[in-house]
């Protein structure tokens, strides 16, 4: 269960990071 929670957290962080990168690229 701990690994699953960590993976979920990592996925959320990666998504936010990619979103920021796309925003910077567009602007």
pLDDT tens digits, 1-27: 678 888 888 999 999 999 999 999 998
pTM above 0.75, yes or no: no
C-alpha distances in angstroms, 13 versus 1, 16, 23?
19, 5, 15
Q: How many CB atoms sit inside 10 A of residue 4's CB?
A: 8
CA 24 remoteness from chain centre: 15
Question: What is the model's pLDDT at position 26?
Answer: 93
Q: What is the pLDDT of residue 1?
A: 60
Q: Is 23 exposed, middle or buried (0-12, 13-18, 19+ CB in 10 A)?
A: exposed
Residue 5's pLDDT is what? 86
DSSP string, 1-27: -HHHHHHHHHHHHHHHHHHHHHHHHH-
């Amino acid at each position: 269960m701990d690994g699953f929670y960590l993976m979920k957290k990592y996925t959320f962080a990666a998504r936010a990071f990619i979103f920021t990168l796309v925003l910077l690229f567009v602007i």
